[in-house]
Amino acid sequence: MKLVFAGTPEVAVPALDALIASGRHEVAAVVTRPDAPAGRGRRLVASPVAERAEEAGIEVLKPLKPRDPEFLARLTEIAPDCCPVVAYGALLPRVALDIPAHGWVNLHFSLLPAWRGAAPVQHAVMAGDEITGAATFLIEEGLDSGPVYGTVTEEIRPTDTSGDLLTRLAFAGAGLLAATMDGIEEGTLKAVPQPAEGISLAPKITVEDAEVEWATPALRVDRVVRGCTPAPGAWTTFRGERLKLIQVRPVPERTDLAPGQPAVGKNSVHVGTGSYAVELLWVQAQGKKPMRAADWARGVRVAEGERLG
């Protein structure tokens, strides 16, 4: 088939690579978000998908909005058979959805209908799910509600951050998306409507959502930290300043600390929660680089009676 691939961040690159490497389909063009300011100089930088497409000599389309007439005209001119999508980052209007003969097929990082929305991996980790996966589905105008072509499953490991899990899903999902394109071309793959039960929503995680509440149980604190790493980054406050929490570890044997109460040992920092303590392993103070929590605690000299949060 002739394909137009839509995607923007690094997590979409393995799928683009898989489609290029398959040699079975022609990736005629790539659709991605416009260049965005990045770094200290805030200079405009192309998306990871745009960079990869340019390396491969593939035409790159960067519409401000997918309903832009120039973009729709070019897409009509290319006349793709199907448009595979991974984390493109913009809503597709009906007029765009109708252009490819086989529609737009999205690779979504959850087992639909669970965790429809922008942040399925973060929500799966924060909810304590043991199994997640990826699904390919036909895009409709509803939120991740279209019929499903295929799935792959992935275990969520006890120490997984959302970044760890998303990396594994990006590669597992790349193979799934390529196989889905093959099945659509062969006519052997039919999309199956999602069940009406088991729907859960995964809206974008905000900075406010990422604040650790020390009165919640240790397992919840651990899940919030892992689910919000690397983005947007879990945090608490200390002496009125934000302290980023990069890695923590539940310590079930320690139950003598009140929520938010720190206990600094020679090489450890324990903090009380609503159940038992967690050990802070890596933190990042405002304006500083990430550091071991024990080094941070020695530097700030935590006093008796001080609290986090």
Q: Which domains does the chain have, with CATH numbers?
A: 2-186 (3.40.50.170), 207-300 (3.10.25.10)
The reported pLDDT for the residue numbered 42 is 86
Question: Does the annotation place 110 within a ligand binding site?
Answer: yes
Burial class, 23, CB count within 10 angstroms (exposed 0-12 / middle 13-18 / buried 19+) = exposed
Q: Which of helix, strand or coil describes residue 229?
A: coil
Question: Does the annotation place 92 within a ligand binding site?
Answer: no
Question: Does the annotation place 3 within a ligand binding site?
Answer: no
The reported pLDDT for the residue numbered 41 is 85
Query: Encoding tokens for residue 302?
Result: 């935590």
The reported pLDDT for the residue numbered 38 is 85
Query: Encoding tokens for residue 59?
Result: 């035409």
Lookup result for tokens 């593939």: 58
Query: Encoding tokens for residue 239?
Result: 């002496």
> Cis peptide leading into 232, omega within 30 of 0?
yes
Angstrom distance (rounded) from CA 108 to CA 176:
11
Question: Does the annotation place 91 within a ligand binding site?
Answer: no
Angstrom distance (rounded) from CA 107 to CA 16:
11
Number of other CB atoms surrounding residue 183 within 10 Å: 15
Per-residue pLDDT of the chain (309 residues; tens, 9 = 90+): 999 999 999 999 999 999 999 999 999 999 999 999 988 888 999 999 999 999 999 999 999 999 999 999 999 999 999 999 999 999 999 999 999 999 999 999 999 999 999 999 999 999 999 999 999 999 998 899 999 999 999 999 999 999 999 999 999 999 999 999 999 999 999 999 999 999 999 999 999 999 999 999 999 999 999 999 999 999 999 999 999 999 999 999 999 999 999 999 999 999 999 999 999 999 999 999 999 999 999 999 999 999 999
Query: What's phi and psi for 158, nearest 5 deg?
Result: -60, -25
Q: Beta-strand (E) ranges in the chain?
A: 2-7, 26-31, 36-38, 43-45, 59-61, 83-86, 104-108, 131-138, 148-155, 234-238, 241-251, 262-264, 269-271, 277-285, 291-292
Query: Encoding tokens for residue 174?
Result: 């790349």
Angstrom distance (rounded) from CA 28 to CA 232:
34
